[in-house]
Structure formats: structure tokens, C-alpha cells
Structure 1
């Protein structure tokens, strides 16, 4: 085969430091728009970004020239810098050090898209940590 083709959808979840509820309705659109632009700049087309006050979800196509860890590191670093530089909240903002990234097959894209879109509805039933633990267990990671 003389050409290389990749199409890797990635669902990434990460939380605010100490899961502080800092991303409220007054800044979430600005933050998500910034993250969207950063991902586009990195060559990672975005399907959806959404979240809750203590965590975020992103579904994007991975740029095959970049590792997931490099992409997430860039997004988390630049977005926390953006929040602090623009003084979108009163205190110093930071993300937790870790994250979770999952591949998403084409057949599951709409399901994941709607899951991310309807975050507020999902979190009426479970908090962010319980959601994260469920994802880790579902994907056979960790010992939870």
C-alpha cells in the first residue's frame, strides 16, 4: 500500500485540580471555544466539547503526527493559561495532572456525541468521579 490512512476518534476526559467546581456557565463557552481553536491548530478536528463545573469531555480526530499525551498536554496547559490570563475566575485555575482517553469506533460516534452533549442530564444521576470510575471500569483500566 503506497498511502497511509488514519481516522482515530478520541474521547478525552479530564478534571479540574481537586475537582473544584470552577467552570460555570459564565465561562464554559469561552473555555470550550478556546479548546476548540487549539485543537484545530493542532490538526485535530473537533466533533464536540462539553462538560461540568469540575471536568470536561472532548471528542476529536487525532492528528496522526501527534501523540494523544502531547495533544492533551497542550490543550490542558494552554487552556489553564488562557483562564488565568483572561482572569475568567477569581482564583488561580489548574487542571488535575491526569486524564483518560478512549478510542471511539465510527459505529459509536453518535452515542458518544450525545453522551457528551447531554452532560448535565447525566450528572443528575451521578457525580464526575463516579462517571470517571465507570469509564475506567468499562474500558478495563485500573482495578476499580
Structure 2
């Protein structure tokens, strides 16, 4: 078994920065992403955001590229939101791209 300690701060937004993550679905959005990350073998250490973007502090195992992880999280979550959440005001779409920053383990507590 490999030992890995890789920490990333990843940010991505909704398409055209539309305010799609309302307070009413926020917990559902975060819960889905945490579950999907777990399924991929990733660990979400923190999650949050506002109506038009999301922040994750995540550990991604070396067997999975960052791009594959983000693509899976964004793609499957948009599909899930559009097919499972009632009364969305419009189609849920994430903006292309993302921002990513590496973190050291000592930065997690700050």
C-alpha cells in the first residue's frame, strides 16, 4: 500500500457565474461531491463556496490525475443535479476549467 499526503485547493465556478448553488441545495451539492470523491479514493478535507463557485481542499491519490478527478467531480455532479434535484431554476452547468493550488499539511489547520 502506498503512503501519500497530497493536498490541493481547487476552485471552479458555475457557467457564466450564474448563482446556481442556492442555500436550499447547498448541502445536497456538497454531500454529492464528498460521496463522489470518496468513491474515487479522494479525501475532501474542507468544502464551501457561494452561489456561483465552490472551493475544495482535497487529497487526490497518485493513481488518479488531478484533471481526471476534477472532470469526474464536475461532470457527474452536474448530471446528478440536473436529474435529481427538483425545481432547479435552470440547467446546472459548471464553467470550463478550474483553479488549483497545492498545500502543505501544516496549512490545513489555518
Q: Normalized against structure 2, the TM-score is what?
A: 0.93
Q: Which one of the candidate residues 42, 46, 49 is aligned to 1:48?
A: 46
After TM superposition, the runs of 4+ consecutive aligned structure 1 residues lying more than 3 A away are: none
For CA contacts below 8 A with separation 6 or more, give which structure has more relative contact order: 2
Instruction: Give the equivalent residue in structure 2 for 1:6.
Output: 4
Q: Does 1:36 pair with 2:34?
A: yes
Q: Which residue of 1 aligns with 2:94?
A: 95
The aligned length equals: 109
Unaligned runs of 5+ in 1: 112-144
Distance 1:17 1:11 in 2: 20
Structure 2 Cα separation of the partners of residues 45 and 99 of structure 1: 18
Residue equivalent to 2:64: 66
TM-score, scaled relative to structure 1: 0.72
Deviations 1:92-129 (A, max 9, x none): 11000110111110111122xxxxxxxxxxxxxxxxxx
Q: Offset at 1:90? A: 2.4
In terms of Rg, which structure is larger? 1
Describe the SS at the equivalent of 2:108: helix
Q: Deviation of residue 4 (structure 1)? A: 4.9
- When the two chains are superposed, the root-mean-square deviation of aligned CA atoms in Å is 1.3
- In structure 2, C-alpha distance between the alignment counterparts of 1:20 and 1:91, rounded to whole Å: 10
Which whole-Å CA distance do the structure 1 matches of 2:35 and 2:71 have between them? 15
